[in-house]
């Protein structure tokens, strides 16, 4: 199960990166409110993609014999952090 979780994590990372970079190219060609819309979409895609990749990798490691816990607040904080960081990087 752990191997499939890691493979899923890699697939999510590749798909999110491709989508976010495609949206980043569209941001450069826009002005005004469309710029803000594409920027929001790109940063949201990248932030959620990074978070999803990280979360699926963490789930893969939960099947290891060592004890692990998943803290809901920490997971939500990471989602907000990745979303904010992606917004800064795209602008």
Q: What separation in angstroms does the CA of 57 have from each of 27, 53, 64, 70? A: 30, 6, 12, 12
Confidence category of residue 5, pLDDT binned at 50, 70, 90: confident
For 68-90, write each residue's pLDDT tens digit: 566 677 777 877 887 787 777 76
Q: Which of 48, 34, 28, 31 is nearest to 90 (CA)?
A: 28
Q: Mean per-residue pLDDT for 64-69? A: 61
Instruction: Indicate the number of domains in the chain.
Output: 1
Joined together, the tokens standing for residue 38 give 């594409």
For 6-62, write each residue's pLDDT tens digit: 788 888 888 888 887 887 777 777 778 888 888 788 778 888 888 888 888 777 777
Q: How far apart are the first and last CA of the chain?
A: 39
32: left (phi over 0), alpha (psi -120 to 50) or beta: left
């Amino acid at each position: 199960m752990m191997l499939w979780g890691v493979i899923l994590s890699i697939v999510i990372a590749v798909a999110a990166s491709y989508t976010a970079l495609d949206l980043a190219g569209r941001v450069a060609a826009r002005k005004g409110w469309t710029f803000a819309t594409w920027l929001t979409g790109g940063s949201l895609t990248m932030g959620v993609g990074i978070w999803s990749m990280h979360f699926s990798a963490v789930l893969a490691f939960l099947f290891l014999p060592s004890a692990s816990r998943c803290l809901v607040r920490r997971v939500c904080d990471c989602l907000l952090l990745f979303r904010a960081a992606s917004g800064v990087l795209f602008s």
